[in-house]
Structure 1
Amino acid sequence: MLLLLLLASSFLLLPWAGAGRIIGGWEAKPHSRPYMAYLSIQSELGDFACGGFLIRPDAVLSAAHCVAGKKKVNITVILGAHNINKNEPTQQAFHVGHWIIHPKYSGYTSENDIMLLKLKPRAKLTKSVSYIPFASHKERAEPGTMCQVAGWGLTSMPGDVTSVLMEADLKVQHENICEDSFKNYYMRQSMICVGDENGKKSTFSGDSGGPLVCNGKAHGIVSYGPKYCIFPEVFTRVSYFERWMRAELRKFALQDRPDSPSSV
């Protein structure tokens, strides 16, 4: 497993790439988060897993670092899953042939850590598969807001694994906490500072790309955290990228027109 390690102040930043799951959480009620997506990623560097979430029947949002820098990448998106190791009748699998990484994504600073994946055919919306609205550029999750995260990532820093979807509550923190921890790497406009100040709950390796859900909307994307502890964590601020996302989603729609050269 290859993990990109970034030097920050006196410790390392760790983008949550690879197989893993929620630390200090609990098993989610099966299919209670129908927007959750599991990304199975194969590349010449090995096999990886990330999270993501459905924002439209033809689009999944995730983190850029899940695929950036890898060659010969193949991505399968699975929707409607609870136990990812079982062939559940609710599951829908998509081989993704088209994805867009933000053009200003930086693997060094983790800025603009966002990616859109196009699903073709579109997902069939069911009780187990549906999309979640995302925060607009006018919406912000204020410090103290209790939000939810979910994923199939590692359940402990030693590397304990599971196959079922886990979830946990995490609080939005004041910006200065992440600024103190990550110095010049933390950007207020495009990132959200989140975490459990008691150090018992966290997203971790394999949860990358999953959503931070606050008041029923996706406000963040699991991005990075410190290597040697689980507090605080940094999420990509979805609302900051609303205009970019909507522009790319319009391109997705154009590609589906019968007269589009890329349509099949």
Structure 2
Amino acid sequence: MLLLFLLTNAFVLLPWAGAGRIIGGWEVKPHSRPYMAYLKIQNGSKISYSCGGFLIRPDAVLSAAHCVDKEGTVRVTVTLGAHNITSQEPSQQKIRVGHWVVHPKYSRVGLKNDIVLLKLKPKARINKNVQSIPIPNEKESVREGAECRVAGWGWTSVTETTTDVLREVVLKVQKEEICQQLIDKYQRQSMLCVGDKSRKKATSKGDSGGPLVCNKKAHGIVSRGYKKRLFPKVFTRISYFEPWIREQLRRFALQDIPGSPSSG
């Protein structure tokens, strides 16, 4: 997979490279982003890496499909209520994910339909440190020039300076033409073009799966960008997938009804 993207000069935000990289951002007030989820993903017995994600319902976390798109046995643990991911904070809830649904039209080539919904069982306990974030409906859009926020854990510079606390950066929604010109296989309907033109602020690598928050709603999911550029970045456009998300949430609810055909 990596070789494929290198050959096409496109760069997947590789989740095994660290717990995230917010460049040009700042540390947020502890637990002020209660929707944030930290995904620890283990591929087999030796390789582990991490991604971001976000809680949209007590039993559901959204993230990027490429985070779980690995060969062999994949195990995912979601941590909610975290600020310092290396500490045993009393606020943290760690939930082993037994089931997730990748979009049926997800493709490694160009990371099309890069979205996955993870089912939490047991459900998250909602409190001041763990809360869900709304998503837009199918007809809602975020305008060019809108300032949005993206949070993540880990690297804070291109020299791989690390941090264990949650950090955040403000990025603008850009003209679609920018990504169409610079990003291979960019699709306007299902993707968002986002970034900082001064190239001083960005997401990268393990920030994959984290939310683009605009007007207190999660409008995008960190997906991909160019190998050696901080600008622009591609996000999965959540409003485009809202009908699919709602259908999966309905199925999740049915699975929790004792005696239903979907339960188990």
TM range, normalised to the smaller chain? over 0.9
SS in 2 for 1:176: helix
CA distance in 1, matches of 2:193, 2:39: 24
CA distance in 2, matches of 1:189, 1:7: 25
1:229 deviates by 1.3
1:262 deviates by 5.6
CA distance in 2, matches of 1:209, 1:101: 13
Contact 2:254 2:263 in 1 (8 A): no
- Residue 259 (structure 1) aligned with residue 259 (structure 2): yes
CA distance in 2, matches of 1:5, 1:27: 35
Contact 2:208 2:222 in 1 (8 A): yes
- Deviation string, structure 1 residues 33-72 (Cα, Å, up to 9, x no partner): 0000000000137111000000000000000000113321
Report the TM-score when normalising by structure 2: 0.95
Contact 2:138 2:241 in 1 (8 A): yes
- Deviation string, structure 1 residues 101-126 (Cα, Å, up to 9, x no partner): 11111111100000000001111101
SS in 2 for 1:121: coil
- Deviation string, structure 1 residues 102-159 (Cα, Å, up to 9, x no partner): 1111111100000000001111101000000001111111100000000014222232
User: Structure 2 vs 1, CA of residues 105 and 4 (structure 1 numbering), >3 Å: closer, same or farther?
Assistant: farther
Gap runs ≥5 in structure 1: none
User: Structure 2 vs 1, CA of residues 4 and 104 (structure 1 numbering), >3 Å: closer, same or farther?
Assistant: farther
CA distance in 1, matches of 2:152, 2:198: 20
Gap runs ≥5 in structure 2: none
Q: By percentage of residues, which structure has more helix?
A: 2
Range 66-75 or range 120-129, more displaced? 66-75
SS in 1 for 2:38: strand
Range 107-116 or range 64-73, more displaced? 64-73
- Deviation string, structure 1 residues 160-201 (Cα, Å, up to 9, x no partner): 221100001000000000001014x10000000000000001
CA distance in 1, matches of 2:39, 2:2: 17
RMSD: 1.6
Contact 1:49 1:206 in 2 (8 A): yes
CA distance in 1, matches of 2:42, 2:181: 36
Report the TM-score when normalising by structure 1: 0.95
1:12 is aligned, of 6, 10, 13, to 10
Letter matched to residue 228 of structure 1: K
* Identity, % of aligned positions: 60
Partner of 1:208: 208
Name the count of aligned residue pairs: 261
